Structure 1
Amino acid sequence: MAIIAFSEERFPLRIAFGTSGGPERRTDIVRLSTGFEKRNQRFARSVRRYDAGSGLKSLADLAAVLEFFEAMRGRMTGFRFRDPLDHASARLGLPVSPLDQAIGTGDGEGREFALIKAYGSGEGAYMRSIEKPVGGSVRVAVGGVETAAGVVVDPSKGVVIFDAPPAEGATITAGFEFDVPVRFDTDQLAINIAAFEAGDIPTIPLIEVRP
């Protein structure tokens, strides 16, 4: 089997539900002699870190993690991970709608539009690129009207492709579920068989990557 940089396989869902973690940013802060601060954001986008090792698990779950870890060659290969709290274009608890996120405006020429999710509103909103939508979950609307004919979604890149360019001025929106591209952030699993038919892996660190 050839070793690849990224696999479209997903980390086992039943284990992901016990995950802790979330977005991380790097901000440099310098306090000036005047008392004011200068703040500089090192990275344009946040990086998500997770730990899927919390909680006692069945031996079947431990075996699933072990098999997946070996298949991904430890830190070598990236894979899909479902964030238990943030995995859809809609607000938590609401169903996905084709009007959830504005992803572009037609100019009569462009046919490809990248999926994004906005955090906040107005000019200060953070626009997150969604590169790993869940296949079959993407719903698209043009000018507020849902359309499926003549639309293809590349689930490995998060790009919506129209057969014909949307009309100039038409707002393109989309709703979707998505995974986070991650890799293991360790090359060793410390598995502990804590009790009969149960055990734990104290830490399973994962870090977001650019696929």
Structure 2
Amino acid sequence: MAKKNQIFEIVVGKRALTIGHEVYPLANISRIQTRELKWFGKYSTFYPLRRMASLAGGVALLVVAVIVGPRYADPDGEYALEDIGRQFAVLVLVLAGAATLWLSGVLIYRVFLRRTYYLLLLETAGAQAALLNGTDLKEIMRIRNALVAAIEDPPASAYNIEVHGDVFAGDKFTGRGYNVNKSGRGAGQ
């Protein structure tokens, strides 16, 4: 089953380039470039480290407050809320441990398993747009070279460029809602 915004062909005509439902005049295309997608914000690679550090700081403050706090409240060291505070601290430690485990998994995925996305950007006289994106750099480069050849020497008749591999249309990534700006940086909606 094909993905929702996956495209299968690009039509290059005498004067126009058609990708999906968008048509670009060949004469108005000023630049075609490929870029590697750079993640930022909460999708950046090392963002979970910030969360893990803040969790560690909060847990450390809680442990200090639970252990040291009741001793200052009662000189004998017996305080009615001490046991409740320790139980609360254990609960918070378990939750913080689970959150840290989850964030560690996210970090490991982003460092070792997340695939690199590449963009094919087209700049016309008016604006720049992300035409294609995907993880198959060779396929994106092949399409880019075919488009550059069509701009340099417009064809006598229209022809199709078949799209294969993990390449999708536009600035959306496989339905996950990541947007791309003209500098090649990705952000969530």
TM-score by length of 2: 0.22
Which is richer in strand? 1
Which is richer in helix? 2
- Highest relative contact order (Cα 8 Å, sep 6+), 1 or 2? 2
Indicate the structure (1 or 2) with the bigger Cα radius of gyration.
2
TM-score by length of 1: 0.21
